[in-house]
Amino acid sequence: MRSLLADLVLRAVRWTPVGEVPRTGVLVGAPHTSNWDFVMMLLIMWRGGVTPRVLIKKELFRGPLGWLLRRLGGIPLDRANPGGVVRELVREARSGEPFLLILAAEGTRTKGDYWKSGFWRLARSARLPISLAFIDGPTRTAGFGPTFTATSDVVADMDKVREFYRDKHGIHPERRTEPRLREELRDGS
């Protein structure tokens, strides 16, 4: 039922889904430039028959919105102290059960200097593949690109990420953050 509903809504708003929904791994959602990104990605995931887990700042879980976000796969994240949630997610990912987690690597809808490295660190720790998902307002497309395994070479891994997102702009292109991590600077780049 969700799949049919999602397909109808996507057609009605004239957005084109692209690629196959991954079944397991860490899914990077970018560019994250609008509140609609969550809705769009949820529709595309539902269209593919998947209900993902999504890290969302804990402040949004107050009141009735919290109940709804949990029902939609939301996991509250304390951005000041994410360690406990991340450790629990790594344990869950290593359990052998299907596990798909969406992370907005930019961490915010506004333009910034760096992406958050949690997607890369979580994928390495849990030995999960990284799948790249996108929303591109100018072409009205959204969906999934390549999947790869994180290595110990953060620069090489991020080069793959940069290549894929090179022509992806988000709903509000002026808010897009270039794909780069602070960890790349520590590697001498």
Instruction: Indicate whether 187 pLDDT > 60.
Output: no
Q: How many CB atoms lie within 10 A of CB 179?
A: 24
State the DSSP H helix or E strand holding residue 142, giving kind and residue range, or none if neither. strand 141-149
Split at pLDDT 50, 70, 90, the class of 188 is: low
- 70: enclosing H helix or E strand: helix 64-71
Closest CA to 155 of 122, 134, 180: 180
> What is the C-alpha to C-alpha distance for residues 134 and 40, in angstroms, rounded to an integer?
10
CA 141 to CA 136: how far, in whole Å?
Answer: 5
pLDDT tens for each residue of 79-132: 787 777 778 887 887 787 778 888 888 878 889 899 988 899 889 988 899 999
The pTM assigned to this predicted structure is 0.86
Task: Check whether 49 has a pLDDT greater than 70.
Answer: yes
Share of the chain above pLDDT 70, in %: 98
Nearest to 129 by CA among 110, 115, 145: 145
Q: Residue type for 34, please?
A: S
Domain range for 163? 2-186
pLDDT per residue over 66-79, tens digit each? Answer: 999 998 888 888 87
The whole-angstrom separation of Cα 132 and Cα 153 is 18
How many domains in the chain? 1
